[in-house]
């Protein structure tokens, strides 16, 4: 049985969502919706948008709620004036408690109006859903964090609450506000722990809550370039030395290589829970693999599921190719981009060494800028996970919650690099098809948005009050 089938139907305890058509009539919900709508309708794409504008709008709302200039830091750099972000601080009364940090990103993936059914930068409610670019990733959480600070302003917390909403998470070569803060303003964002995107919940096609996940660790995304060069020549007189063939051999070597299995406390817990739920051949193979990571037969069974395969190891895959300069000439140059997702604890340099060995002496392998930090997995800390589980039992009764390591990457890696553990908070449920995140017609169920907001608000209170 594949993991998707377990998540899709084999969990024993599932809960139906409230009616999607139910009106959201609480005054605090209306104020939140206004903030959320403004944020979604503010274009923050790299090509034509402005995170700086979105940050200023949030700052205005915080000031209207009573925050002073000393509580708010708007930041950008001269060469990226539209990629600004905001840090806001709600001081706590107990100086013995270290602050907590709420992290979100304001930038969104590009969205072309001609490709979408609806205007991607107009928040549209239809059939129980809210449509628009960023309705989930990551303006839902960013709006909830800003709204939470506004709601809590009148009642000082014991623990200081910080919020950082940044730009640049979605685009490799953009100015990354989270990285800039970690390098240039570490005192401003210093915290005991961070709550970030990466966790959440999954719904089935009928609106049933299937699973909650808290992200405890992630891989580091890193790109490498393979380069083969030859003198070239006339294509009518081919020779064995051919840049395309040499590059192809190197790429095929990457395709055929499996990085060794590695485990963290998080992935052990996730795999244990998975194996117990799915049972059968897959469950048995997971148990065998946990007992002996070198069990090749068990690995072959477990790795049939692409998500489990990626959870077990570093992965590298060719994503871009470019070769030749004329259709009637031998290629002088051939390049490939190799995208790697590096397992926590493994380094960019160690992965480079392995790729060089695979590529062989005829192909040059280099690390592409920017270079990501080594992924550092946080602990399964009961002080963090305990409140998540307790509140989940109240807000989403009967829905299991599991720790997971993301096979993708978030801006949390920059905070982990300076010693701040980052957890992807659960609470926001999305559809099984990922709700159009990074694709067309991104959407969130109305009920999921408001229910997730209530959960995350109570979660912040649980840590801070």
Count of CB atoms situated within 10 Å of the CB of 79: 7
- Give the predicted TM-score (pTM) of the model: 0.91
**Alpha-carbon gap, residue 63 to 360, rounded angstroms:** 59
Residues 274, 211 contacting (CB under 8 angstroms): no
Share of the chain residues as helix, strand and coil, in percent rounded to the nearest 5 = 35, 25, 40
Q: What is the DSSP string of 67-124?
A: --GGGEEEEEETTEEEEEEEEEEE--S-TTSPPEEEEEE-------TTTSSS-TTS-E
Residues 324, 246 contacting (CB under 8 angstroms): no
Length of the chain in residues, anyone? 465
Residues 126, 219 contacting (CB under 8 angstroms): no
For residue 317, what are its two tokens?
């895959």
The predicted pLDDT at position 25 comes to 78
What beta strand segments (E) does 219-264 contain?
220-229, 233-234
| pLDDT profile of the chain (465 residues), mean per 10 | 35 35 73 98 98 98 98 97 98 98 98 97 97 98 98 97 98 94 98 97 92 96 97 96 98 98 97 94 98 98 97 98 98 98 97 98 97 94 98 97 94 97 97 94 97 98 98
Report CA Rg, the chain.
Answer: 24
Residues 307, 404 contacting (CB under 8 angstroms): no
Question: Scanning the structure block, which residue is given the tokens 């030395």?
Answer: 241
Sequence-ordered alpha helix ranges (H) in 396-445: 412-416
**Alpha-carbon gap, residue 418 to 416, rounded angstroms:** 5
What structural domains does the chain harbor? 3-218+375-464 (3.40.630.10), 220-259+314-367 (3.30.70.360)
Looking at residue 2, the DSSP 8-state letter turns out to be: -
- Sign of the dihedral through C-alpha 29, 30, 35, 36: positive
């Amino acid at each position: 049985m594949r993991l998707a089938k377990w998540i899709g139907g084999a969990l024993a305890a599932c809960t139906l969502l409230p009616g999607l058509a139910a009106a959201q009539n609480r005054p605090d919900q209306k104020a939140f919706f206004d903030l959320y709508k403004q944020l979604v309708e503010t274009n923050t794409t790299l090509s034509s948008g402005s995170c700086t504008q979105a940050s200023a709008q949030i700052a205005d709302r915080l000031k209207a709620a009573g925050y002073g200039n000393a509580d708010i830091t708007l930041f950008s750099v001269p060469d990226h004036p539209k990629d600004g972000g905001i840090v806001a601080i709600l001081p706590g009364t107990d100086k013995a408690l270290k602050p907590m940090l709420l992290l979100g990103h304001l930038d969104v993936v590009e969205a072309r109006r001609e490709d979408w059914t609806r205007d991607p930068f107009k928040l549209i409610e239809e059939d129980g859903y809210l449509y628009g670019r960023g309705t989930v990733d990551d303006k839902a959480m960013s709006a909830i964090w800003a709204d939470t600070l506004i709601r809590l302003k009148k009642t000082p917390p014991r623990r200081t609450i910080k919020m950082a909403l940044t730009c640049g998470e979605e685009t490799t070569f953009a100015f990354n506000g989270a990285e800039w803060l970690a390098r240039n303003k570490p005192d401003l964002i210093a915290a005991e722990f961070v709550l970030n995107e990466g966790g959440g919940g999954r719904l089935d096609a009928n609106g049933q809550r299937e699973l909650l996940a808290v992200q405890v660790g992630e891989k580091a995304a890193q790109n490498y370039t393979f380069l083969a060069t030859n003198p070239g020549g006339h294509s009518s007189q081919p020779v064995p030395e051919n840049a395309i063939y040499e590059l192809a051999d190197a790429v095929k070597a990457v395709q055929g290589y499996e990085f060794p299995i590695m485990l963290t406390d998080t992935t052990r817990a996730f795999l244990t829970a998975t194996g117990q739920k799915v049972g059968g051949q897959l469950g048995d193979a997971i148990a065998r693999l946990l007992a002996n990571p070198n069990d090749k037969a068990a690995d072959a069974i477990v790795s049939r599921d692409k998500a489990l395969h990626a959870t077990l190891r570093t992965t590298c895959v060719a994503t871009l190719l470019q070769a030749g300069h004329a259709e009637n000439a031998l290629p002088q140059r051939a390049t490939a981009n190799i995208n790697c997702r590096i397992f926590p604890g493994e380094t960019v340099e160690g992965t480079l060494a392995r790729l060089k060995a695979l590529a062989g002496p005829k192909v040059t392998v280099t690390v592409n800028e920017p270079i990501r930090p080594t992924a550092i997995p946080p602990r399964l800390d009961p002080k963090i996970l305990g409140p998540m589980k307790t509140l989940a039992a109240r807000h989403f009764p009967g829905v299991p919650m599991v720790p997971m390591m993301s096979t993708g990457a978030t801006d949390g890696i920059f905070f982990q690099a300076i010693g701040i553990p980052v957890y992807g908070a659960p609470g926001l449920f999305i559809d099984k098809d990922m709700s159009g995140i990074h694709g067309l017609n991104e959407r969130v169920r109305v009920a999921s948005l408001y229910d997730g907001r209530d959960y995350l608000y109570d979660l912040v209170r649980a840590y801070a009050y």
